[in-house]
Structure 1
Amino acid sequence: MSSLIYGLCAVTSAVCAGLLLAAYRLEWYRLLLWSGLCFVGLAANNVILLLDKVVLPDVDLSALRLFVALIAMSILLFGLIWDTES
């Protein structure tokens, strides 16, 4: 059951990333770009979570998951700060 939830979270994040990046291609609003890139990182984080808990339960990928989440949130934070200054 947990593998289904992890998979659905990864799919949901990937769909959100796709929708945000598609909207960016139409509107050219930079906040859509930063949000889309953040969701790409969150989707990767969820895929790594699925690998960590279901596929490779003996291997600890928690440090990699945290690093990917940090990068994803840093991209969004950078975009929010940069768009505010310009």
Structure 2
Amino acid sequence: MAEIAYAACAITAGLCAWLLLRAFMRSRFRLLLWGGLCFVGLTLNSVLLIFDKMVFPALDLSVFRLSMGLVALLVLLTGLILDGDA
């Protein structure tokens, strides 16, 4: 049952990233770009979770997973700071 939840999270984050980046390509509103890049990172985070828990259960990939999540959120935070005054 956990496999379904992990896959659903990865698919949902990937879909959000795709929709945000597609909207950015149409409107060129930069906040959509930052949000889309954040969700790309969150998608990779979810994929790493699948690899960590199901594909390579003997390896501990938690440091890579948490680092990817941190980088994804830092990208969004950077975008909010840079585009906050515009």
Whole-Å Cα distance in 2 between the matches of residues 21 and 58 of structure 1? 35
Whole-Å Cα distance in 2 between the matches of residues 23 and 36 of structure 1? 9
How many residue pairs end up in the alignment? 86
For structure 1, the residue ranges without an aligned partner over 5 or more in a row are none
1:31-59 deviations in Å (ceiling 9; x for gaps): 00000000000000000001101111110
Q: Which runs of 4+ in 1 moved over 4 A?
A: none
TM-score (norm 2): 0.97
Shift of 1:67: 0.5
Whole-Å Cα distance in 2 between the matches of residues 34 and 72 of structure 1? 9
Aligned partner of 2:85 in structure 1 is 85
TM-score (norm 1): 0.97
Aligned partner of 2:61 in structure 1 is 61
Query: Given residue 3 of structure 1, which amino acid in structure 2 is its aligned partner?
Result: E
Whole-Å Cα distance in 2 between the matches of residues 55 and 2 of structure 1? 13
For structure 2, the residue ranges without an aligned partner over 5 or more in a row are none
